[in-house]
Structure 1
Amino acid sequence: MYIFDMLHEIAGMLSPVPMLVMFASTALGIVFGVLPGLTATLAVALLSTITFRLSQETALIALIGAYVGAVYGASQSAILIGIPGTSAAAATVRDGHRLAKQGRGGEAIANATFASMIGTIFGLVVMMLVMPLMVRLALQFTSIEFFLLALFGVLICGSLTSEDMAAKGWIAGILGLLVSTVGIETIQGYNRFTFGVPELMGGIEFVPVILGAFAIPQIVRGLRDLDPQTAGRLEIGKLLPDFGFLRRCKALIARSGLIGVGIGSIPGVGEDIAAWASYDAAKRADDDPDSFGQGNMRGVIAPEVAANSCIGGAIIPVLTLAVPGSPPAAMLLGAMWLHGLRPGPMLASENPEIIAQIGAYLFWGAIAICVCGLILVRLTVLALRVPASIFLPMVAVVSVLGSYALGLNTFNVMLMFAFGAVAYLLEEMKYPVAPLVIGLILGNMADVGLRRALLTTQGDVLAFLERPVALVFLGLILLSLFGRAGWLKGLIGAGRRRIGMRPRSSGK
């Protein structure tokens, strides 16, 4: 049903204004992806403040376009200069930059562009096929399931994004849960942790936290580790994809797409783990695994397909359960709240057209990255020559303006810098920031779900063992706590060690 509705929405977008917004926002997203330090999460966060007063439809088109464009755009800098714009593109560096050194940079970028387009559409198709089942499943959720889902999301995100100990990720997630309790609680109206500060009575605003957590550490590290020799001489060559080679990679593309969608649907994990898992799987399955890291084109296609198919996977839990599948999807969820949408089990009933519309936006976003990606390559070279000492302070200014624009409140700017300082210190101590953000998002769901469940059952915790879905989540939580669900992180770590890369955080 959703696929036919989506086809109708795709045709309905064929008018000048939606197309202009989509292509412009995708181009902006590509720029954010290309420039190291400007992530997909930051692109969606900044754009959500700019589009706050636009119509719901226009804002969602812009946000989806920027999301898709930023995830793809990082591949261009990864191939051209060997510096990934995001951690997801770190997997593309190994073979993509080698190909550029061999004079095949244009071919690598063109193949990566088409692979990204295919991956986005693959994730979109799976999303549309899975969505009816997920909607029916979500309607069966009670407060017990929502509490356990939120807890599982924080724990699994902490397990998979921590560089060394899973406990560090859990601590960051619990910190996010604690921050989410600030303000007037929703059941009995008590003030919690406001300390007499009136601005805290409404709770912690989401956008300043996201901007602080992801922008400030990137800006500080970018300026601290400034390298004037980064740009150098960039070679592109002919921008011609090898369609015959792409056809021969059907199995690789299908496997990478499934990996991306599957990992994307795990709360809070993100595109970087999807890209690394796909790269490792492609290397394992290849007839000549030793050629990976030496300029194998499959090492470019696999992570790009997975990273972009991850977008569709990450949006599935956003729309059906109000649980983000990745940090950029978390910002998209917050932006949807800002524009009056209520993602979750009732979204399909309250806004029956929205799922098909988002599917259409993803489709045109995929087309836009193919068109804009190839057109902007020459400009990418110029953009990569802009010193970080110029564009990073510009990002700081835009972040401040974005935080202030949300309610015209200087308190939000102070919140942004406060959480930026906390996030920077956490990352310096190897604590991941993504679980903190996921904890902040899911905190209200966990808090309200637990207390409503206990009120409904009159404090009987054994009721948590009487519902099949609740038992599934309890099993997943136990697996996360005892490390059995850490197989994926182990797979990624092994892949990184084999190709000589230092583990990276997932702050996208």
Structure 2
Amino acid sequence: MFDGLVLLGQGIGHFLTPEGIFNVIWATLLGLAIGILPGLTATMGVALLVTLTYGMETSQAILTLMSVYLGSIFGGSRTAILLNIPGTPASAATSLDGYPLAQQGRAGLAMGLATTSSTLGTLVGIFFLALLAPLLTEVALNFGTYEFFWLAVFGVVISGQLSGSDTPIKGYVTGILGLLAATVGMESLHAYQRFTFGIPQLGAGIDIIPAMVGAFGLAEILSQIKRQPTLLTRTVTDRVVPTLKEVFQYWKTIIRSGVIGTFVGIIPGVGEDVGAWSSYAAAKRFSKKPQEFGKGSQEGLIAAETGNNAVVSGAMIPTLTLALPGSAAAAVLIAAMYIHGVRPGPMLMIENAPFLYQVVGMLLLATLANLVFGLTLTKLFIKIVSIPQDRLMAVIAVLCVVGSFAITQRMFDVYVMLGFGVIGFLLREMRYPMAPLVLGIVLGDLLDSNLRRGLGLTNGDWTPFFTRPISLVLFLIVAVTIVLSIPPISRGLGRLLANLTRRKTVTEPSVPDGPRPKE
């Protein structure tokens, strides 16, 4: 316990330097801008910034990416409140009460409440991250080759829940495409080149950075060109900083939503939007004034913003301890960690124990920056929505090309980026999520090498994959997840549960026999 507190103090103090504070400031501001602009998601922002942080020291690079991630989730509430257009999917629930408050002339107060509740939600998630992550890591130390294989399979399976597609099957498809892309190039055990089709540049495999930049950056540009949205503007005339009473009169809602958001984040592949909606639904259920929800309820706004920001910290728990993403942006963060030499997973506490507590420090500093900028620069930041879309997309296109080329100075990487950009655009048009594609590339080597290593240890016997206790548990989880994602089964189970609930509701207790009382 004492060692953990020492590491926590060192993790926070590690970034209290001019370089660390500077990186927090500019990355948080950039994240806020990304979140405010509708169409630009936190996942896309983190993916594009990976290329700019390639030459940075590892902890400073991850600090920068984490600040952008947290700032983007927080920034999405600005346009959700002002324009009823969520800047990110995580802010959709915020618009239910935030926009009615803005229509009532209380847009500043709504954004102030969103800022403070976002900060408190993140702090609740940070508490559970510091408490639970070391414990979960100790359990995960029992994992071996067979368990790591199922862990990688589970990562691809839960990718069906990432970034809201029509059906989980679409997530599985893009996840498998990512796995196939990961098998291109020289394999790790016997140095045999696979699926290169005579192209020498493919011998080293497909680099994750140009693939990620193309799938998120270029594909988004093509999608925006097709849509060409038109935005309105709204001014803020009232005060932005709320009073302590306005915030803490809903302290039960804040704690409840923070806990719900954190544990939604722990579930791999669910995401911030589910955390927001779950917290909002729970707040409405336990509220003394549920009739005000959707009409400008401050409690509803606080619940949604607390929930979605708590997911960010909660998502770091499986991300760091199991290398399973708690959200779509966390999938990109896993790729970034591998690129910068950090291996998230069960071995993290052995190979790089201070890093876990450094992540806690990153989240604390980024949260503090969000609080300061959210309360002081709100009126300035809303002017960002007036940036012409064509100019913004032109800048992002340049970043895509430069970022893909700058790392290895190979034009081939630019072609990879273009290829994945076109593929990503076509998949988006068919409502296929992109995060599983990147996650499949990241987990592909882990799955492939552990599968072949496990079969090598047993001379081709598959039995240990299903008989070892942890492997069996992981296999059953994967199997149940796949079965429940089949639409007819999930619909049938939903109807069964609804019928059981209805029967319990309509069943009345029998009247005992005996003389009736006289009237």
Report the TM-score, using the length of structure 2 for normalisation. 0.89
Name the counterpart of 1:291: 292
AA aligned opposite 1:168: K
1:68 alignment partner in structure 2? 70
What whole-Å deviation, never above 9, does each CA across 1:111-139 have from its counterpart, x for those lacking one? 11111111111111111111221211221
Gaps spanning 5+ residues in structure 1: where?
A: 494-508
Tell me, yes or no, if the aligned pair for 1:154 and 1:268 is still in contact at 8 Å: no
Aligned residue for 2:477, secondary structure, equals: helix
1:238 pairs with 2:262: no
d(CA) in 2 for partners of 1:255, 1:417: 45
406-415 vs 231-240, which moves further: 231-240
Match of 2:21 in 1: 19
Task: Map 1:38-437 to 2 at 5 A.
Answer: 38-159=40-161, 161-228=163-230, 230-437=231-438
Instruction: Please give the root-mean-square deviation of Cα atoms over the aligned residues, in Å.
Output: 2.3
Once the two structures are superposed, residues 43-78 of structure 1 have per-residue CA deviations (whole angstroms, 9 ceiling, x without a partner) of 222222112112223222212211111111111121
User: What's the CA shift for 1:364?
Assistant: 0.9
Shift of 1:10: 2.2
Amino acid at match of 2:178: G
Q: Does 1:468 align with 2:469?
A: yes
Note the alpha carbon deviations across 1:73-106, whole angstroms, 9 max, x for none: 1111211122111111112112111111111111
Please say if residues 22 and 365 of structure 1, whose CA atoms lie closer than 8 Å, have aligned partners that are also in contact. Answer: yes
Residues 154, 267 of structure 1: 8 Å contact kept: no
> Is this contact kept in 2: 1:268–1:435, CA < 8 A?
no
CA deviations over 1:278-334 (Å, ceiling 9, x no partner): 223333333443432211122222222222111222222222222322222222222
Report if aligned partners of 1:107, 1:242 keep a CA contact under 8 Å in 2: no
The residue type equivalent to 2:324 in the other structure is V
Tell me the equivalent position of 1:36. 38
> What is the rounded CA distance, in whole Å, between the counterparts of 1:270 and 1:285 in structure 2?
23
Sort the Cα spacing of 1:163 and 1:334 in 2 relative to 1 into closer, same or farther, 3 A.
closer
Distance in 2 separating the partners of 1:402 and 1:135: 34
SS of equivalent to 2:353: coil
Partner Cα separation in structure 1 for residue 84 and residue 150 of structure 2: 41
Q: Distance in 2 between matches of 1:77 and 1:442?
A: 35
Q: Which residue of 1 aligns with 2:7?
A: 5
* TM-superposition CA deviations, 1:139-198 (whole Å, max 9, x none): 111111111111122212214655333222222221111111111111121111111112
Q: Secondary structure in 2 aligned to 1:201? A: helix
Tell me the CA shift for residue 243 of structure 1: 2.4
Distance between the aligned counterparts of 1:321 and 1:384, measured in 2? 38
Partners of 2:90 and 2:308 within 8 A in 1: yes
Q: After TM superposition, give the deviation of residue 31 of structure 1 in Å.
A: 0.9
Contact in 1 for aligned 2:162/2:433 (Cα 8 Å): no
* Paired positions, count: 489
Distance 1:114 1:347, change over 3 A: same
Give the Cα–Cα distance (whole angstroms) in 1 for the partners of residues 376 and 412 of structure 2. 41
Q: What amino acid is aligned across from residue 317 of structure 2 in structure 1?
A: I
- SS of equivalent residue, structure 2 residue 196: coil
Q: How does 1:449-468 map to 2 (within 5 A)?
A: 449-468=450-469
For the pair 1:439 / 2:444, whether they are aligned, the reply is no
Is 1:25–1:65's contact at 8 Å kept on the other side of the alignment? Answer: yes
Amino acid at match of 2:339: L
Aligned counterparts of 2:242 and 2:80: Cα–Cα separation in 1: 17
Match of 1:355, as an amino acid? Answer: L
Task: Classify 1:485/1:111 alpha carbon distance in 2 versus 1 (closer, same or farther; 3 Å).
Answer: farther
Instruction: Provide the C-alpha distance between the structure 2 equivalents of 1:290 and 1:428, rounded to a whole number of angstroms.
Output: 38
Structure 2, unpaired ranges of 5+: 495-519
In 2: Cα distance, 1:439 partner to 1:460 partner: 25
Does structure 2 retain, via aligned residues, the 8 Å contact 1:153–1:266? no
State the Cα deviation string for residues 317-363 of structure 1 (Å, max 9, x = none): 22222232222222222222222222222222222221111111111
| Paired amino acid for 1:142 | G
Which range moved further: 283-292 or 421-430?
A: 283-292
Give distance in 2, aligned partners of 1:430 and 1:45: 20
Counterparts in 2 of 1:220 and 1:484: CA distance versus 1, 3 Å: closer
Q: 1:267 to 1:188 in 2, by over 3 A?
A: farther
Aligned AA (2:30): L
State percent identity of aligned pairs: 42
Q: Which deviates the most, 267-276 or 62-71?
A: 267-276
Higher gyration radius (CA):
2
SS in 2 for 1:114: helix
| Secondary structure, counterpart of 1:140 in structure 2 | coil
Shift of 1:268: 3.1
Instruction: Tell me if structure 1 keeps the 8 A contact 2:34–2:45.
Output: yes
Structure 1 counterpart SS, 2:343: coil
- Maintained 8 Å contact 2:162/2:435: no
Residues of 2 paired with 1:163 and 1:213: CA distance?
A: 16
Q: For the structure 1 residues 180 and 163, does the alpha-carbon distance in structure 2 shift closer, same or farther, using more than 3 Å as the test? A: same
Q: Distance in 2 between matches of 1:331 and 1:251?
A: 33
Contact 1:217/1:424 (8 A) holds in 2:
yes
Distance change in 2, residues 1:422/1:280 (3 Å): farther
Structure-1 separation of matches of 2:127 and 2:68: 20
Is the Cα–Cα contact under 8 Å of residues 106 and 236 in structure 1 kept in the other structure? yes
Question: Which has the larger displacement, 272-281 or 189-198?
Answer: 272-281
Q: Is the 8 A contact 1:263 1:310 kept in 2?
A: yes
- Give the deviation of 1:241 after TM superposition: 1.8
Q: Confirm or deny: 8 A CA contact 1:81 1:234 kept in the other structure.
A: no
Q: Secondary structure at the match of 1:482?
A: helix
* Distance across 2 between alignment mates of 1:87 and 1:162: 9
1:465 deviates by: 2.8
Would the aligned equivalents of 1:3 and 1:356 in 2 still touch at CA under 8 Å? no
For 2:387, give the aligned amino acid.
V
Q: Counterpart amino acid of 1:231?
A: L
SS at match of 2:85: coil
User: CA shift at 1:484, angstroms?
Assistant: 7.0
User: Retained in 1: the 8 A contact 2:207–2:413?
Assistant: yes
TM-score (norm. length: structure 1): 0.91
CA deviation after TM superposition for structure 1 residue 213, in Å: 1.5
Query: Could you tell me whether the CA contact under 8 Å between 1:36 and 1:83 is conserved in 2?
Result: yes
Q: Which residue of 2 aligns with 1:502?
A: none
Deviation at 1:446, TM superposition (A): 1.4
The letter for the 2-side match of 1:263 is V
Aligned partners of 2:477, 2:324: CA distance in 1, in Å? 16
Q: Name the CA distance, whole Å, in 2 between partners of 1:195 and 1:277.
A: 48
